[in-house]
Amino acid sequence: EWPYQGREEKKGFLYEIVANKRNGIDVDKWDYFARDCHGLGIKNNFDHHRFMKFSRVLKVDGSLQICSRDKEADTLYSMFQIRATLHRRAYQHRVCNAIETMITDAFIHADKKGIIPGKDGKLVRLSECIDDPVAYTNLNDSIFHVILMSTDKDLAKSREILQRIERRQLYKCVGETTPTEGKTKDDVSKIKKEIMSCIEEESRHKLLPNDLVVHLVYLDYGMKTENPIKNVRFYNKNDATKAVILDKHHVSLMLPGVFAEQLIRLYCKKTDEESLKIARDCFQKWCNDTGLLSFIMSICVNDVEW
């Protein structure tokens, strides 16, 4: 049964212009490519004008799909590579992830009492705003400064974390590794316990479990381990009415064979030299014990750009 209202099924391809669940090629992606590449100074080699010029709607398995000219396949691979680059260098950068984790910690500590005005002026906790439409509409980026400028003793811990962000005294990434097998969020606590065991084995009790953060990073072409181009149909100049599947080896032998990877990162909330050394050494030992190659960060305690 057709799940959408508005456009009938035969015009379903119109939805894919904005949000393409079939292969991820849509104007939403092009928009943030242009915005973020410009803001970050990263070259955006994808020409969406050219892609649209060589796009046409053809019938595929009884339904209409947006198809592309076969010679544009290499351009589409480049588009997904830009996506992966933005995630690696910006969205999933270790410093960005550190700040995200610190903001999360600050909000969790701030959830002890109501701070957002809700219905009838009642102050609502952050976690309860979803159940109060008035509070929800008042929940915006200003919450950062509401906590930062508060004098409430119950918000002291949250305030301290946000002040650290402002001073750039961030949680430190002491190392990262690429697992040989896919990990899930359920594995995070197990990994953390194993690293803590390394600390306890060496009788180095300076660090507690709450001082460490294990972060899983997912980098892919937008469809997990799958090649999104497999879900694109192409046409050629000899028959512009027939949609075909284009094998990647017909595009180039130099195209990627793997379309996703994971990173495991270990962060230390403490920034003193001894704590960082303990965390770094134990992460290295855990990697050695599990047969994983590790990249250990060189960290200077007072270094601003780390």
pLDDT (tens digit, 9 = 90+) per residue, 224-258? 999 999 999 999 999 999 999 999 989 998 899 99
In a domain, 38, yes or no: yes
71 contacts 50 by C-beta, under 8 angstroms: no
Establish if 238 belongs to a structural domain. no
CA torsion through residues 233, 12, 49, 54, sign: positive
Residue 122 belongs to a domain? yes
Report the number of distinct structural domains present in the chain: 3
Range of the domain at 109: 94-170
* Domain match, 142 and 165 both: yes
The CATH number of residue 192's host domain is 3.30.70.2760
Cβ contact 105:170 at 8 Å: no
Q: Is residue 246 part of a domain?
A: no
| Residue that is last in its domain, among 23, 57, 91 | 91
Q: Which two tokens stand for residue 274?
A: 């001894």
Looking at the fold, whether 75 and 37 belong to one and the same domain comes out as yes
How far is it, in rounded angstroms, from Cα 99 to Cα 263?
18
Same domain, 211 and 285: yes
Dump pLDDT digits (tens) for 55-99.
999 999 999 999 999 999 999 999 999 999 999 999 999 999 999
Alpha helix stretches (DSSP H) within 63-173: 73-86, 94-110, 133-138, 143-148, 156-166
Supply the pTM of this predicted model.
0.90
User: Does residue 105 fall inside a structural domain?
Assistant: yes
Distance between CA 294 and CA 198 in Å, rounded?
16
